Amino acid sequence: MQPLVISHLSIANSLGLGLSATMDALRKRRSGLIPCAFEDVDLETYIAKVETIEACRMRPDLDAYDCRNNRLAQLGLEQDGFSTAVEAAKKKYSAGRIGVFLGTSTSGILQTELAYRRLDPQTGALPPDFHYAETQNSYSLASFVTRYLGLGGPSFVVSSACSSSAKVFANAVRMMAAGVCDAAVVGGVDSLCLSTLYGFNSLGLVSRFPCRPYDADRDGISVGEGAGFVLLERATAENSADAMLLLGVGESADAYHMSTPHPEGLGAKLAMQRALDSAGLKASDIDYINLHGTATKSNDASEGKAVAEVFGTKVPCSSTKGWTGHQLGAAGITEAIIAMLAVEHGFVPGSVNTQQLDPNIMINYRIENGEGKIDRVLSNSFGFGGSNCSLVLGRRT
């Protein structure tokens, strides 16, 4: 594929608001996981919560979109000069030539959960201030972001569980290659809700402890929330030699099970190999892998086998979900941005909470932070139902 320039990026999650806050937490090994205190949820688990959401107020003209998910989206758009960068892109391309492609798993479903607590006792009707289309509807996220940024290009939402905001990179590549748009706002947002917490708990996938990716005693995920956005543009001769690039994308489907990954990691292996092929790179060209690493028994074992087959035991790897929790539909964009921070700062994030590595997974998994020259990284996102996506990011060398 033709590399695309990632000219601007922004992030908001439990580690803080903005790239600097996230980087600072990574360097100081400060996890965003806390004991669960969310609404009236009665679960013994840990969550990664963005505390500033409650104080966030929607832009007045977008009041109908007011819900936790869109507030989090607004917080993300307000960081790192992202909205200003999009304004400049509008002057360069026109608003109608910039697409919006976003991922989410549950959108603003919390708004519906809370609305059901206020049903009319006589009629059973939902409260009149509940706006389904602007809050819970999956497209509400793209609708909100498009209106917030004043864009008019093609827009849609991908909801493929945990791979959602990685797969939108692939959609943007195709839309730009087809000439449908000249630039794209790509990203994802997912926020805490009752359905996610109780749903994963009912599947026996929620840990009572802060999640421990690739640990021998790992026992499940810690649910988190977050938002992230990047601005994709075509690469030109005017770009600097160290411009951050989307170099390759690989997708696959396990076609194996509704919630369990293929035990041999066949789909994951295929996605990673396709990403390398797309970038025209070999496995030895990758300097760091940000793993999907959910801390469930099956995910880490399956992904570990696939990584070992494609990359062997030399490439440093880690999962950063011990910091951010599993942000589900926002995991792909968050971890892609963390992988880009690794390139920018020559920094390999380790794995907080992981104590004793699983001896059956033969990869170069890093618990402690490290430093070194990093030019190209691979970021994995593997969703329920075996919806897989791997991204290759970095610089030309």
| Structure confidence at residue 106 (pLDDT) | 95
Cβ proximity of 299 and 163 under 8 Å:
no
pLDDT of residue 178: 97
Q: Do the beta carbons of residue 381 and residue 333 sit within 8 Å?
A: no
Q: pLDDT tens digits for 196-229? A: 999 999 999 999 999 999 999 999 999 999 999 9
Residue 52 DSSP symbol? G
Known catalytic membership, residue 162: yes
**Domains identified in the chain and CATH numbers:** 4-394 (3.40.47.10)
* Residue 240 pLDDT: 87
For 37, other C-beta atoms within 10 Å of its C-beta total: 8
Distances (CA, A) of 283 to 170, 226, 279: 20, 30, 11
| Res 397: pLDDT | 73
Summarize pLDDT for 47-95 with one digit per residue, the tens.
999 999 999 999 999 999 999 999 999 999 999 999 999 999 999 999 9
3-state secondary structure of 310: helix
Tell me which residue has tokens 């956005």.
229
- Give the pair of three-digit tokens for residue 148: 């917030």
pLDDT score recorded for residue 396:
81
Catalytic residue among 131, 262, 326, 389: 326
Instruction: Please tell me which residue in 181, 292, 317, 389 is annotated as part of the active site.
Output: 292
Q: Check residue 336 and give its pLDDT.
A: 98
Which is catalytic among the residues 36, 162, 193, 389? 162
What confidence score (pLDDT) does residue 92 get?
A: 97
Closest-CA residue to 378 (of 232, 258, 248):
248
Which residues in the chain show pLDDT less than 70?
none
Is 116 in a helix, a strand, or coil? helix
pLDDT of residue 241: 83
Q: Catalytic site residue 257? A: no
Residue 118 pLDDT: 97
Helical packing angle, 331-345 and 19-28, nearest 10°: 70
Q: Give which of 292, 335, 247 is closest to 6, Cα–Cα.
A: 247
Asked if residues 16 and 25 have their Cβ atoms less than 8 Å apart, the reply is yes
The DSSP output letter for 325 is: -
Handedness of CA 271, 277, 282, 286 (dihedral sign): negative
